[in-house]
Structure 1
Amino acid sequence: MTRFLTLGLLLAVTPPLFAADNMLFHGTLIEPPPCTINDDGMVDVDFGERVGINKVNGVNYRKPVDYRITCESGATGLDMTLTLSGTHTGYDDAAVQTDMADLGIQVLQNGTPFTLNTPLSIDPQNPPVLEAVPVKTPGATLPEGAFVATATLKAEYQ
């Protein structure tokens, strides 16, 4: 009985526990300003009509990829990634498969292979230099003929 009486007295003299609001959460939701690549136009890399079937080696015929990212004001300070997506060749994760067997187009960013479908953190005010170069399956013999490859270049905020 003494035990219950002591507990009762302690509860009677202990002030009740209250939680005070001492945390505040706030912020502002924004929609990042829209950006476009080449004003939503095509990025076209033309290798011309004189690509030698025996000279495709990942070095010859390297061409710049002429693109520009344009964002509306307010984009500074936001994290952006650049992703090149498409079907890669079976021998190079940075090469887009063409419509010709054994021929791909390798894309380089600042001289380094740009792995397809892998986001790359960039500064939209200073985007990486992109280049494209024909590559072939090691040991393959390429036939004559026209070729084409397509991919998607996407810039997005994180």
Structure 2
Amino acid sequence: MLNASLAQAVPVTFGGTLIGNPPCDITGDDDPVSVEFGEVGISRIDGVNYAQPFTLTVTCGADLGNNVALFMGYDGMNADFDDRALQTSRQGLGILLSYDGTVIKPDNGDIPVTMSSHGVMTLPLVPVPVKDSNPALVLFEGPFTATGTVEIRYP
């Protein structure tokens, strides 16, 4: 049982600063990031050949901390023949983008990533060309391009 005559009071003050989610910077080897596939043999496009790995660095600042759950996705037009692929300037040709073996669908494929190393993480990404399996569609020789935007989102 407590003796009321021995009780003492100690004032306690709590404080801090509320901030929104810190902004993150995404950088690659060049800005904007450009991935060059070089010469791609039409008959050898199979979703494996011609993969061109690259790495993005995401910096959100040390205030974010470690083991913070984030989501990665990217915006762009889906290919008509495969909603997992990014549309290119050539009908019947698309680009699959994967992270850690998981394909990221344009405009619908947020995948979880974990921030580590005091607000800095690296994202190894692998784009690879794919083609429409419709035998009636013929790919013709010539240059192709595709554009998407990689995003990091807070839950």
Please give the range of the TM-score, normalised by the shorter of the 2 chains.
Answer: 0.7 to 0.9
Q: What residue in structure 2 maps to residue 135 of structure 1?
A: 130
The answer as to 2:66 corresponding to 1:71 is no
Aligned amino acid, residue 63 of structure 1: Q
2:145 to 138, 141, 148: 148
SS of 1:54's partner is: helix
The answer as to 2:93 corresponding to 1:103 is yes
Pairwise CA distance, 1:112: 2.2
Aligned residues: CA RMSD? 2.2
Runs of 4+ displaced beyond 6 Å: none
Distance 1:65 1:88 in 2: 21
The answer as to 2:30 corresponding to 1:55 is no
SS of 2:35's partner is: coil
Query: Which structure dedicates a bigger proportion of its chain to strand?
Result: 2
Structure 2 unaligned spans of 5+: 1-15
Distance 1:84 1:62 in 2: 18
**Percent of aligned positions with the same letter in both sequences?**
36
SS of 2:43's partner is: coil
Aligned amino acid, residue 115 of structure 1: K
Distance 1:94 1:127 in 2: 23
Aligned amino acid, residue 70 of structure 1: T
Aligned amino acid, residue 132 of structure 1: P
Aligned amino acid, residue 35 of structure 2: V
Q: State the TM-score, normalizing by the size of structure 1.
A: 0.74
Pairwise CA distance, 1:29: 3.5
Q: What residue in structure 2 maps to residue 7 of structure 1?
A: none
Aligned amino acid, residue 129 of structure 1: P
1:123 to 109, 114, 117: 114
Assess if the C-alpha contact under 8 Å between 1:103 and 1:137 holds in 2: yes
Question: For residues 114-147 of structure 1, what are the alpha-carbon distances to aligned partners after superposition, in whole Å with 9 as ceiling and x for unaligned?
Answer: 1222221111235553100000111332101000
Q: What residue in structure 2 maps to residue 14 of structure 1?
A: none
Aligned length: 132
Pairwise CA distance, 1:55: 1.2
90-99 or 117-126, which deviates more: 117-126
Q: What residue in structure 2 maps to residue 12 of structure 1?
A: none
Q: State the TM-score, normalizing by the size of structure 2.
A: 0.75
